[in-house]
Homo-oligomer: A and B are copies of this chain.
C-alpha cells in the first residue's frame, strides 16, 4: 500500500483549512447538476435518420377513473410488477424529427410552451431538445400530426400563438380534421374534456394556423418513406405510420398504447382518454399481434424515452422490450 499524492494533499489541505478563512488550497465541492441530459436519440432506418426528441413527462396522481374497466388496486399491482411507483402515473412524450435526406419531417409536436411553463419544464421540452439536437424549427419542411390531442398538437404554436414551424407544411389525418372541425360534432360533444378538446383544436388550427393544413389519407405516403396507417379508436382519425427505407422498417405507433406499463401488458384495459375504447382495444390487439408476429420494431410516442422497442406476446398481453441504446450512429 502506497501513500498517495492525493493523501499527502489531503493532509496539507487539512492544515491549510484550519484558519477561519478557507485557503484556496481547499477544493470546492463540485456543484450538483440541475438539468437532465438533453433527451434526444438518433437511429437510422435505411437511408433515413430518425431523431427521437423527448417532450418530457407528466406525472399525476393515479385516479380511480384512470382505467375505466380495472380497479385502482389492480392498476397499482400492475405498476408495482413493472417496478414503477404506486398511486401515480407517468406519461412520456416523444415526438420525432425525421430526416429523409430531402425533407425534414416532424411527427407530432408535444405539449407546447404553455405546458412547459405550467409544468416547470417537465413537459413541453420538444423545441429546446430539438435545438439541442441541432435542428432549427425554421428548417422543418413538414409537420405530420397523428391525432388532435393536446400533447400532439399544442406544440404547433409558439408562445406568441404563431406557427412554431413557420416554414413547414402541416399534414393532418383527413378523418381527424373532418371530425374536430365539424360544428355538428362539436355541438353534440359532452361538456368537460371533449368540449375542451374541440375548443383547443379550434384555437390551434383556426386561430393559430388559419386552417393552413393539408389533410392526408390512410394508405398513402405522407412524406418520403412515411406511410400513413389507420389505427382508430383512441380518436376517430388516429393514425400510425410505417417508416421504411431499403430493408429498414419501423412501426410508428402513435397512441395505439399509452405507456406500455400497464397498457401493453394489459391490452384489455381502457384508458379514459380513448374516445372509443372498444375500437381502441381492437386496434391495439390487431397492431400488437402484427408487430409481434413480424418482429417489427415499434416507436411509441408514450413509451419511456427513447421509445424504440420490440413487442413479444406475454401471457394474455404483450411485453415491450426496449432496443439497446446505440452510443454511435
Residues of A at the B interface (CB closer than 8 Å) are: 1-2, 4-7, 9-10, 27, 29-30, 32-42, 49, 51, 54, 56-57, 82-84, 90, 92, 99, 101-104, 121-122, 125, 133-135, 139, 141-142, 167-170, 174, 211-215, 295, 297, 304-306, 310, 321-329
Number of copies: 2
Q: Does A169 contact B6, Cβ atoms closer than 8 Å?
A: yes
Tell me the complex Cα distance, A36–B237, Å: 34
What B residues does A122 contact at CB under 8 A? 327-328
A328-B36 in contact given A6-B169, A141-B27, A169-B6 (Cβ < 8 Å): yes
Contacts of A325 in B (CB 8 A): 39, 54, 92, 304-306
**A122 — nearest CB in chain B belongs to which residue?**
B328
Bound-state Cα–Cα, A168 to B6, Å = 6
| C-alpha spacing A325/B27, complex, angstroms | 33
Enumerate chain B residues within 8 angstroms of A141, measured Cβ to Cβ: 6, 27
Q: A30 and B212: CB pair below 8 A? A: no
Task: Name 15 interchain pairs, CB-CB below 8 A, sorted by A.
Answer: A4-B170, A4-B213, A6-B167, A6-B212, A7-B214, A27-B139, A27-B141, A32-B101, A37-B37, A39-B325, A56-B328, A57-B327, A83-B297, A83-B310, A121-B328
Contacting pair B5 A35 (CB below 8 A): no
Q: Are A329 and B34 in contact (CB under 8 A)?
A: yes
User: Which residues of the other chain, B, contact A38 by a CB distance below 8 angstroms?
Assistant: 37
Q: Tell me whether A83 and B321 are in contact (CB under 8 A).
A: yes
Q: Is the CB of A33 within 8 A of B5?
A: no
Contact between B327 and A305, CB atoms less than 8 A apart:
yes
Residues on B with C-beta less than 8 A from A37 are: 37-38, 40-42, 133
Do A212 and B5 touch across chains, with their CB atoms under 8 A apart? yes
CB nearest to A329 among chain B residues: B36
Most buried by B among A134, A213, A305, A321: A321
Q: Are A33 and B49 in contact (CB under 8 A)?
A: yes
> In the complex, what distance in Å separates the CA atom of A57 from the CA atom of B99?
25
